[in-house]
Structure 1
Amino acid sequence: MPKALKTADAASLENLPFEEALKKLESIVDAMESGDLPLEALLSKFEEGTRLAKACQTKLADAELKIQKLEKSSSGETTLTPLSNDLSEEEQPKYE
């Protein structure tokens, strides 16, 4: 893929809402798991899925940072408080 086209794709993914990117990623995974795609189409879907996954990860990281910045202490001062990485098993996201 030409470099200019890759840059345009990256820019369009940045403007894509998280939920829409996630739905596209899920549909790509479903298509890949079906086993009905020829190798070239499978590779193309894999590349698109990789870009979408990266875009989703970036959006989630940005959202986490915004949440951390917005947390306030009991005295009303804004503090940067990291989110806990030790979520209980019930709080862990479920991936199927």
Structure 2
Amino acid sequence: MPKTAGKKTPEARGAQPDFETALTRLEEIVERLDDGNLPLAEALALFKEGTALAKRCRTLLSAAEVVVKEALSDVDEHDMEPQFEGDETGSAEDDGEF
């Protein structure tokens, strides 16, 4: 018996897939369901798996959104303001002379 025969993927052990893995599998499921050539039982099983994966992706995206918002709130507002030529920087180039 090969050594890998008894090993399970993280998903098979009950671990949740990361975003990229879940999205890739969800895309595969959508393609298979779009083909329309599946027995009803298989289509329903894939649909159920797909809805669980979509929920997982939504959860991960929501968590990522929180991280991004927290990171942005830590940035000083002054650092986020665009600097345009002609701002009051005291440069000699923009003293109104031609």
Given the two structures, how large is their TM-score scaled by the length of structure 2?
0.61
1:12 counterpart letter in structure 2: A
Q: How does 1:45-60 map to 2 (within 5 A)?
A: 45-60=46-61
Structure 2 residue 63 is the aligned partner of structure 1 residue 62: yes
Task: Give the structure, 1 or 2, with the largest relative contact order (CA under 8 Å, sep 6 or more).
Answer: 2
> What residue in structure 1 maps to residue 41 of structure 2?
40
Equivalent residue pairs, number: 66
Q: How does 1:1-96 map to 2 (within 5 A)?
A: 11-13=14-16, 16-71=17-72, 72-74=75-77
Flag structure 1 segments of 5+ consecutive residues without an equivalent: 1-7, 77-96
After superposing on structure 2, the runs of 4+ consecutive aligned residues of structure 1 that deviate more than 2 Å are: 73-76
Name the % identity: 38
Flag structure 2 segments of 5+ consecutive residues without an equivalent: 1-10, 80-98
Given the two structures, how large is their TM-score scaled by the length of structure 1?
0.62
Looking at CA atoms only, which structure, 1 or 2, has the larger radius of gyration? 2
